[in-house]
C-alpha cells in the first residue's frame, strides 16, 4: 500500500493534481493515517487555531472552539453549535422572482417562481457560497448533514472522539 505525504493530500484536496494522479490516489486503498493527513492539510489552510474535528464541506468544518464544538467557515465565521443547522446562521439569497432566477437560468429554462425558488447559503463574513437548495416556496430549510462523530471516530478511526470543550465528559 502506498502512503502519501500531507503535501500530496493537500494537493488532492485543493484539486491541484493531474487527473491520472487524482484517480489513482482516490481509487487505491487508503493509508491508515489518511484522515489525519487530510485534517492537518485543512488545518494549515485556515487561520484559526481551533482543532478541526471533521470537514462538513470543502470550506465548512466542525471544530473544537473555546465555546464548544461549532461549525466554522474556512474564514473563521462561527455558524454555531455543530448539532444546529448552520444554514440558519448564514446569509441567504432567495431567488424567488423571474428577475433573480434569470441571473442563473437562460430565459428558455427559467423556472416558475411560484413553484420553485433557489436559496443560496452564504458566509456572512467572507461571502463564500456554501450551498444552494432548489425547493418549493415555503419549504423548510434542510439540515442535511449531522454526522455521528463518536461512531466515526470509534468505528472508523479506531480511537475515541476528543471530548467537546466546555462539556463535562
pLDDT in tens, 15-45: 899 999 999 988 888 888 889 999 999 999 9
* Residue 113: predicted pLDDT: 92
- Predicted confidence band of residue 1 (pLDDT cuts 50, 70, 90): low
- CA angle, corner 76, sides to 92 and 158, nearest 5? 105
pLDDT in tens, 87-109: 999 999 999 999 999 998 877 78
* Residue 168: predicted pLDDT: 58
For 92, residues 6+ apart whose C-beta sits below 8 A from its C-beta are: 119, 120, 121, 122
Mean pLDDT of the chain: 92
Identify the DSSP state of 79: E
Tell which wins on pLDDT, 122 or 13. 122
Tell which wins on pLDDT, 10 or 160. 160
SS3 at position 161? coil
**Domain residue ranges in the chain:** 1-45
Amino acid at each position: 500500500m502506498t502512503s502519501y505525504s500531507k503535501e500530496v493530500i493537500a494537493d488532492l484536496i485543493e484539486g491541484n493534481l493531474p487527473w491520472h494522479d487524482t484517480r489513482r490516489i482516490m481509487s487505491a486503498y487508503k493509508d491508515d493515517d489518511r484522515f489525519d493527513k487530510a485534517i492537518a492539510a485543512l488545518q494549515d489552510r485556515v487561520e484559526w487555531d481551533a482543532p478541526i474535528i471533521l470537514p462538513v464541506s470543502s470550506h465548512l468544518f466542525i471544530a473544537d472552539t473555546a465555546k464548544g464544538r461549532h461549525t466554522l467557515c474556512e474564514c473563521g465565521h462561527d455558524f454555531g453549535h455543530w448539532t444546529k443547522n448552520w444554514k440558519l446562521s448564514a446569509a441567504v439569497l432567495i431567488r424567488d422572482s423571474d428577475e433573480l432566477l434569470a441571473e442563473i437560468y437562460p430565459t428558455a429554462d427559467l423556472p416558475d417562481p411560484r413553484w420553485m425558488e433557489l436559496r443560496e447559503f452564504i458566509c456572512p463574513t467572507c461571502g463564500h457560497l456554501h450551498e444552494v437548495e432548489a425547493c418549493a416556496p415555503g419549504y423548510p430549510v434542510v439540515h442535511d448533514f449531522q454526522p455521528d462523530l463518536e461512531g466515526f471516530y470509534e468505528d472508523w478511526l479506531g480511537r475515541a472522539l476528543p471530548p467537546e470543550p466546555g462539556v463535562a465528559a
